[in-house]
């Protein structure tokens, strides 16, 4: 609350996609609280705290027809100070070379490894720098026109995104190599997502999709 005090609300219902927390007036009155409204403010009173006049435990301000609880907001920490040794930072920075890593210490803050650290041989870096024979040139020709051939794939993520998506539908036009991506909460959304894509590109190109290639 604005006073710095903390009040516990029990028997709450969690709604995953709800953007804001809602406090039920009916539930408050059932628990013995009195809720008083006027055109500008709302007060929640604990009638049991005093026989003559109840103690005001919370208040809210009218904001566009909704009463918003007066609280002290604590910002969610989305970033934290990184820690770890130079080897860990080497991996975090996508196997950045050691000279550039030491230069990074002079140019930035937050990387907390020693400039005098002894770097061990990185097996991944060694393997990545191994020479190989060049691939034979492909004789495959791309599609002559847009929408002649589309490649589609559906990817699954074990960890849902912030919006709840666990699937990604990718569509690649063979002629232009342009990539389209749609994030979905379930496989059930594939058909509607592709239909949305089809209408968009066919109107844009003035032609119909001819071939779809998928695993």
Q: How confident is the model at residue 192 (pLDDT cuts 50, 70, 90)?
A: very high
Residue 42 has pLDDT above 60, yes or no: yes
CA-angle at 89, arms to 87 and 90, nearest 5°? 65
Instruction: Tell me the two tokens of residue 66.
Output: 């909704």
* Strand 55-63 versus strand 66-69 pairing type: antiparallel
CA-angle at 71, arms to 65 and 73, nearest 5°? 110
Cβ atoms of residues 174 and 163 within 8 Å: no
Q: How confident is the model at residue 131 (pLDDT cuts 50, 70, 90)?
A: confident
Cβ atoms of residues 154 and 166 within 8 Å: no
Q: Which of 95-104, 125-134, 165-174 has the lowest mean pLDDT?
A: 125-134
Q: Give the pLDDT score at 151.
A: 96
Any idea which residue has 């232009």 for tokens? 176
Instruction: Tell me which of 3.30.360.10, 3.30.420.10, 3.40.50.10710, 3.40.50.720 is the CATH number of domain 149-214.
Output: 3.30.420.10
DSSP state of 186: S
Cβ atoms of residues 46 and 55 within 8 Å: yes
pTM of the full predicted structure? 0.42
Mean pLDDT to the nearest integer, 30-44? 88
Q: Where are the domains of the chain?
A: 1-73, 86-121, 149-214
Residue 160 has pLDDT above 70, yes or no: yes
Q: How confident is the model at residue 165 (pLDDT cuts 50, 70, 90)?
A: very high
CA 5 – CA 1 distance, rounded (Å): 6
Largest CA distance in the chain: 91
* Strand 149-156 versus strand 211-214 pairing type: parallel
Q: Which helix (H) or strand (E) holds 159?
A: none
Q: Give the pLDDT score at 79.
A: 54
């Amino acid at each position: 609350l604005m006073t710095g005090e903390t009040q516990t609300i029990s028997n709450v219902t969690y709604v995953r996609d709800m953007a804001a927390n809602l406090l039920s007036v009916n539930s408050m009155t059932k628990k013995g609280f009195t809720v008083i409204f006027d055109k500008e403010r709302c007060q929640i009173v604990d009638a049991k705290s005093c026989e003559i006049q109840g103690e005001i435990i919370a208040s809210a301000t009218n904001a566009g027809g909704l009463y918003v609880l007066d609280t002290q907001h604590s910002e969610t920490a989305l970033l934290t100070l990184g820690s770890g040794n130079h080897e860990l930072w080497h991996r975090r920075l996508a196997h950045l070379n050691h000279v550039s890593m030491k230069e990074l210490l002079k140019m930035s803050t937050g990387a907390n490894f020693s400039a005098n650290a002894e770097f061990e041989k990185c097996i991944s870096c060694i393997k990545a720098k191994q020479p190989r024979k060049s691939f034979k040139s492909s004789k495959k020709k791309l599609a002559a026109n847009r929408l002649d051939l589309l490649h589609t794939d559906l990817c699954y993520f074990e960890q849902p995104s912030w919006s709840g998506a666990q699937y990604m539908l990718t569509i690649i036009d063979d002629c232009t190599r342009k990539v389209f991506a749609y994030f979905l909460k379930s496989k059930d959304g594939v058909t509607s997502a592709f239909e949305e894509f089809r209408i968009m590109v066919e109107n844009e190109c003035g032609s119909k999709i001819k071939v779809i290639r998928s695993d």
